[in-house]
Amino acid sequence: MYPALLLTHNALRWLILVVGVLAIVKAGQGLTGRRPYAAARRLGVIFMALLHVQLLTGLVLFVISPLVRTAMTDMQATMADGAVRFFIAEHPTLMVIAVAVMTIGSIVAKNAPDDVRRHRKLLVFTTVTLLLLLAGIPWQRALVPGLGG
């Protein structure tokens, strides 16, 4: 189960990044006031759903990963080793914050008084989420699932 989950977690990252960029483009197009919010909202919701699936796979990985299990046996050594600490501390923390920002943003945008402001809020929150994701992704690992890294 672990290799399949790690593969899924790896590949899903690309889908999330592509949908995130599309959501930003769609939200940006809505700033002119000539587009209804529905299309941008749909992409925002898909982005959020994918993030929640990734959060779930990440949480399961955190429980079953041999890397995490080994790291937990000596937390002092783990915290002193930046490469290992990244998967125990920085990566999960940044990603949970990113998912929370997007979840809050989706609600805030939906509740804005008009479509231009809905688009603007979606644009800002999705951009911040994407930046947090880019900062938290372990780019040192395999870029293509199962290959190298």
Q: Which residues bind ligand HEM (CB under 6 A)?
A: 6, 9-10, 13, 16, 51, 54-55, 58-59, 61-62, 65, 67-68, 87, 91-92, 95-96, 99, 133, 137-138, 141-142, 149
Q: Which is nearer to ligand HEM, 16 or 118 (CB)?
A: 16
What pairs with residue 147 in β-bridges? 144
Taking Cα atoms as reference points, which of 26, 16, 35 lies closest to residue 122?
Answer: 26
Q: Closest distance between ligand HEM and the C-beta of residue 59, in Å?
A: 5
Our measurement of the distance from residue 75's CA atom to the centroid of its chain's CA atoms, rounded to an integer in Å, reads 26
Q: Which is nearer to ligand HEM, 59 or 107 (CB)?
A: 59
Q: Closest distance between ligand HEM and the C-beta of residue 9, in Å?
A: 5
Residue 87 neighbours by CB under 8 Å, 6+ apart = 65, 67, 68, 71, 138
Q: Closest distance between ligand HEM and the C-beta of residue 144, in Å?
A: 9
Q: Closest distance between ligand HEM and the C-beta of residue 138, in Å?
A: 5
The three-state secondary structure class of 1 is coil
Cβ atoms 63, 148 nearer than 8 A: no
Q: Which is nearer to ligand HEM, 30 or 58 (CB)?
A: 58
Q: Where are the beta strands (DSSP E) in the chain?
A: none
CA 8, CA 147: separation in Å to the nearest integer?
Answer: 13
Residue nearest to ligand HEM (CB): 58
Q: Which is nearer to ligand HEM, 111 or 139 (CB)?
A: 139
